[in-house]
Amino acid sequence: MNVTLSEHSPSVTDTQPAQQAKNVLYAQAGGVTAVINVSAAAVIETIQQHPEKFGKTYAAINGIKGVLEEELVDLTDISTATLAKLKYQPGAAFKACRFDLDPLEHNPEQYRRVLEVFKTYEIGYFLYNGGNGSMVTAQKVADYCCRHGHPVTCVGVAKTIDNDLALSHCSPGFGSAAKYLATSFLNATLDIIAMHETSTKFFVLEAMGRNTGWLTLATGLIKDVIPDAPIIILPAERPFNEQAFFDKVDHFIATQGYCVCAVSEGLVKENGDYISIANIEHTHERDYVQLGGVGATLAHLVGKHLNSKTHYAIPDYCQRSASHMVSQTDWQMAYDAGKEAVNAAFRGEHGVLPIIELTSTEPFEYRFKTVELNAVADLENTVPDHFLTEDGMDITQAALDYLRPLIQGEHGAPFKKGLPDIAPIAFTLVDKQLPAFKALK
């Protein structure tokens, strides 16, 4: 794969490049991926190549929350062994927060605190590894610091399993989750083929994806193995039409004896309501409606419709933390995302995000280019119409051609004593220099 430097610099910090090395702060935010720590390793390794430019490397624990609370670790002298571990570690080694800063006008104290921490630790570069939403936070922080006399070069590091990152060909983290889901679905389909004549005739797998159906679509990759697989794909983008769905189930049962289905957790009815909302009567403190259960709902509906046994699987977090099922392509993209973020910072690009641009489909080649954080923040890249058949319930050849390269190659964690050789990594917090600050009320 061909990874080049960016072609343009959308926004360069007003100040001249620092005469002396400034420190770097890296943090992770939002839902984790199987390869987010690969990006962390790349950030650290690339920084190490430029001692004239970059001073100490810090990571915040729990993203921006750790910045506020001065929960930092010093990675400047990280060991080779720990770096090697990061390259296989699922979850977020530095902990990822679901926590955003309040709007400046509502809570200026937060912003003053971030600035204070940045000044104290002489942070000149802020690298935020997150999804679309996290990019807003990164941009707000950097803007505030710049306006208050402490210019910080702020660069995003892309990650999300949802593949909803706007402008980018795809998102680091997606390929591995897609590989996990397609593999699981292929295995389960062989199970159903084996059993359906006297047992389960309908199986549904519920994939993550609140607003986008990319992960659901990825199960369609089993068509590369079983071209006529009786599969129904229900992405979040298309409202659920119960009659059309039942008709398709009936058709497959009649012609092939079974039907396998993949559904986005965020599947909605025609009126926009979610098909299934878990724990509806209590939402957690951040007032984030929790989804989950549409797989059970569909299995139940089809069971009644067919008067037959049905089954459903909900991989949930297992699909985004599968250390043993990492796509080599995705791993490399995650590494490149971290490396290119540091390269952008090196060039003094501020308020940017390196994204993936396809340069060749055959062979599959891409490069990174930077776009403004504002251009992608809070946008969502949904599954395009031509990736779904006319009935909206099946994958097209174009979608298969798009998805296939992203799951190529195996870069799973090595096994040790029967399990993936992964474990929580202990980092020592730096001694706090500032008064305590509580991020959560």
| Sites for a copy of itself among residues 5-64 (CB under 8 A) | 28, 31-32, 34, 62
The least CB distance from residue 71 to a copy of itself, in Å, is: 10
Nearer to a copy of itself, 142 or 325 (CB): 325
Q: Which residue's structure tokens are 């949930």?
A: 316
* 324 binds a copy of itself per the rule CB under 8 A: yes
Using CA atoms, how far apart are residues 103 and 109, in angstroms rounded to an integer?
Answer: 11
Pattern of binders to a copy of itself over 64-103, x per CB under 8 A? Answer: -x-----------------------xxxxx-xxxxx----
45 is in an annotated binding site: no
The terminus-to-terminus CA distance of the chain in angstroms comes to 47
Chain center to CA of 167: 15
Count of residues of this chain found to bind a copy of itself when the rule CB under 8 A is applied:
90
* 409 binds a copy of itself per the rule CB under 8 A: yes
147 is in an annotated binding site: no
The least CB distance from residue 78 to a copy of itself, in Å, is: 18
Q: Which residue's structure tokens are 């990825």?
A: 218
* 183 binds a copy of itself per the rule CB under 8 A: yes
366 is in an annotated binding site: no
Nearer to a copy of itself, 18 or 318 (CB): 318
* 288 binds a copy of itself per the rule CB under 8 A: yes
- Contact segment (CB under 8 A) with a copy of itself among 160-168, 184-192, 336-344, 359-367 equals 184-192
Using CA atoms, how far apart are residues 117 and 112, in angstroms rounded to an integer?
Answer: 9
- Residues in Cβ contact with 436 at an 8 Å cutoff, skipping those fewer than 6 apart: 69
Q: Work out which of 4, 187, 255, 397 binds a copy of itself, going by CB under 8 A.
A: 187
For 328, phi then psi, to 5°, come to -60, -40
CA dihedral over 172, 175, 180, 182, signed as positive or negative? positive
- C-alpha separations of 256 from 132, 135, 197, 218, 231 in Å: 42, 47, 10, 22, 11
Question: Is 250 among the residues known to form the active site?
Answer: no
Q: Work out which of 313, 379, 400, 430 binds a copy of itself, going by CB under 8 A.
A: 313
Using CA atoms, how far apart are residues 352 and 370, in angstroms rounded to an integer?
Answer: 6
The least CB distance from residue 390 to a copy of itself, in Å, is: 26
* Catalytic positions: 162
